[in-house]
Amino acid sequence: MAMIKIGIVGVGTISELHLNAYRNNPDVQIHAVCDLNEARAKLTADKYGAAKIYTNYREMFAEAGIDAVSICTWNNTHEEIAVAAVQAGIDVLLEKPLTTTVESALRIEEAVNRSGQILQIGYVRRYDNNAQLVKQFTDLGEFGAFYYARASSIRRIGNPGGWFADRSRSGGGPVIDIGVHVVDLCWYLMGRPKVKSVSANTYYQLGNRSNVQHLAAYRAADYDATASSVEDMANALIRFEGGASLMLDASFTLHAKENKTTIQLYGDKGGVEVDPVLSFTTEKNNTILNTTPQTTHPGFHLDTAFQNEIDHFIECVQQRREPLSPVSDGVEIMRMLCGIYESAELGKEIVF
Ligand SMILES: NC(=O)c1ccc[n+]([C@@H]2O[C@H](COP(=O)([O-])OP(=O)(O)OC[C@H]3O[C@@H](n4cnc5c(N)ncnc54)[C@H](O)[C@@H]3O)[C@@H](O)[C@H]2O)c1
C-alpha cells in the first residue's frame, strides 16, 4: 500500500505527540509542516525529516501533495483550516475542540459531508486502551444502561497562557479545553444521547495564578501570562433525552489540594470508574464487588492513546472508513460546551 503523506498545521506543544506517533507508523511519511512561526516550522521539519516547510496553510494544501493533515492550531482557526483542507481533497485529523461555536461546527460538518473527505476529531480519551475496554464491557451489558455520569477535570495552576487564556482565540477556558475530553468520553460511553438541557456556572475568581512557583504545568508554545479572559472554573448539569444526566466540573485554577481527573459512570447493573484508576463495581449474590481489571496502565496513558488515535486515523484514510470520533459527534459536543457558557452567562438553564 502507498505511503500516506502527512502534513501538520501548527507545530506548537501538542503537535509533538502527533509527530512522534506518525513517526512510529510504518505507513506514514511526514512530508510537510506549516506554522505562522517560520523558525518553529523549520526546527520541526529538521527534527522529523519533513521535506517541505510553509507559513501559509493554503499554499501547503495546494502545493505539497499531502494526503492527510493534522491541524494543531488555536481553536478559532480550526474551521477555516479544516474546511480548506477537505475542499483541497485532504483528509483531516482535527485537534479538539472541533471549533468555538455551534454555527461554526455545523459549517465544518457541511463542508466535510459535501467533500466526502475524512475528518477525525482528536478526542484522544476515546482512543485509550482502558476507554475501549470499558466500551467493550458496556456494549456487552456489564453495567446496564448508564443513567448518571460524573466528569471532573481539576487543575490547580493549569492555565496554559497565551491564546488558551484569550477567549477570542480559544472560545473559553477549562470547559472547552479540558472539560471537552471528560464530557466527550462520558457521552460516548453513555451511547451518545441527544442533549436536552444545560445548567451551568462559570467563575472568574483567581485568574491564571501565574504567580505560583515550584510546580510544572502545560504551556502554550507562545506562553504569555498577561492574557486572562477565560473562566478559571465551571460546573454544569447536562440533561439528556431519555433521562440520563452528566455532572461536570473543570478548572484551570482552583484552591484544590491536587490536580485530579475523575470519570465515573453509573448504570442499573453496575458502575465504572475510568479515571483516575480503572475499576468496576457490580453486585452478585447480594454482595457488592469492586473489581480492578488488570491492564498495562491502571489509568489514562497519553502516549498509547495518541498512538492509537494516529494509527486509527491512518487506517481510516487507507480504508475510507468513518472514524471513531466523526465530525457529527463534534457538533453535539459543541452544543453542550456552548450551552454551558450560555447558561452561565444568562444565569438560567438552556433548553435545546
Ligand atoms: N488532545 C489533547 O490532549 C490536546 C492537548 C493540548 C492541546 N490540544 C489542542 O491542540 C491545539 C493546539 O494546542 P497547542 O497546545 O499545541 O498550542 P500551541 O500554542 O503550543 O501551538 C499552536 C501552534 O499553532 C500555530 N498557529 C496558529 N494559527 C496558525 C495558522 N493559521 N497557521 C499556521 N500555524 C498556526 C502557532 O504559531 C503555534 O505554533 C488546540 O486546538 C488545543 O485545544 C489538544
142-162 pLDDT per residue, tens: 999 999 999 999 999 999 999
Taking alpha carbons only, the member of 119, 10, 18 closest to residue 74 is 10
Hey, is 30 helix, strand or coil? strand
**Given this model, what pLDDT does residue 46 score?**
98
The CA-based angle 8-14-18, given to 5 degrees, is 50
Place 261 in a pLDDT band, splitting at 50, 70 and 90. Answer: very high
Query: Is the pLDDT confidence value at 59 over 90?
Result: yes
d(CA 16, CA 59): 22
CA-176 nearest atom, ligand 1? 43
Test site for ligand 1: of 92, 95, 104, most ligand atoms within 8 A of the Cβ = 95
Amino acid present at 77: T
**Given this model, what pLDDT does residue 218 score?**
87
**Given this model, what pLDDT does residue 186 score?**
98
Contact 207, 229 (CB under 8 A): no
Place 98 in a pLDDT band, splitting at 50, 70 and 90. Answer: very high
Which residues of the chain form CATH 3.30.360.10?
126-299+333-351
Thinking of the domain 4-123+306-326, which architecture would CATH place it in? Answer: 3-Layer(aba) Sandwich (3.40)
- CA 271 vs CA 43, 251, 297: distances in Å: 47, 25, 20
Which residues of the chain form CATH 3.40.50.720?
4-123+306-326
d(CA 27, CA 312): 12
d(CA 117, CA 317): 9
Task: Determine how β-strand 146-154 pairs with β-strand 245-251.
Answer: parallel
Ligand 1 centroid from CA 18, angstroms:
11
Contact 258, 248 (CB under 8 A): no
Ligand 1 centroid from CA 74, angstroms:
5
**Given this model, what pLDDT does residue 268 score?**
98
What homologous superfamily is domain 126-299+333-351 in, according to CATH?
Dihydrodipicolinate Reductase; domain 2 (3.30.360.10)
Hey, is 100 helix, strand or coil? coil
Ligand 1 centroid from CA 267, angstroms:
37
**Given this model, what pLDDT does residue 137 score?**
98
Ligand 1 centroid from CA 35, angstroms:
10
Does the CB atom of residue 172 touch ligand 1 within 6 A?
A: no
d(CA 129, CA 147): 23
Residues belonging to the chain: 352
Q: What is the mean pLDDT of residues 4-15?
A: 98
- CA 326 vs CA 117, 143, 219: distances in Å: 11, 25, 28
Cβ-Cβ contacts under 8 Å for 244 (sequence gap 6 or more): 145, 146, 147, 148, 149, 190, 193
Model confidence pLDDT, tens digit, residues 282-309: 999 999 999 999 999 999 999 999 999 9
CA-81 nearest atom, ligand 1? 31
Does the CB atom of residue 20 touch ligand 1 within 6 A?
A: no
Q: What letter does residue 140 receive in the DSSP assignment? A: T
d(CA 117, CA 67): 10
DSSP of 99-149: -SSHHHHHHHHHHHHHHT--EEEE-GGGGSHHHHHHHHHHHTTTT-SEEEE
Strand ranges for 117-214 from DSSP E: 119-122, 146-154, 195-203
**Given this model, what pLDDT does residue 310 score?**
98
Does the CB atom of residue 12 touch ligand 1 within 6 A?
A: yes
Query: Over the chain, what is the mean pLDDT?
Result: 97
**Given this model, what pLDDT does residue 2 score?**
81
Hey, is 149 helix, strand or coil? strand
Taking alpha carbons only, the member of 39, 36, 94, 91 closest to residue 61 is 91
Query: Is the pLDDT confidence value at 29 over 90?
Result: yes
Cell of 87: 475542499
Diameter of the chain measured on Cα atoms:
66
Partnered with residue 4 across adjacent β-strands are 28
Helix (H) or strand (E) holding 337: helix 327-346
Cell of 209: 495564578
Does the CB atom of residue 202 touch ligand 1 within 6 A?
A: no
Cell of 46: 529538521
d(CA 147, CA 275): 18
Query: Is the pLDDT confidence value at 1 over 80?
Result: no
Helix (H) or strand (E) holding 250: strand 245-251
Hey, is 184 helix, strand or coil? helix
Hey, is 331 helix, strand or coil? helix
**Given this model, what pLDDT does residue 304 score?**
98
Amino acid present at 226: T
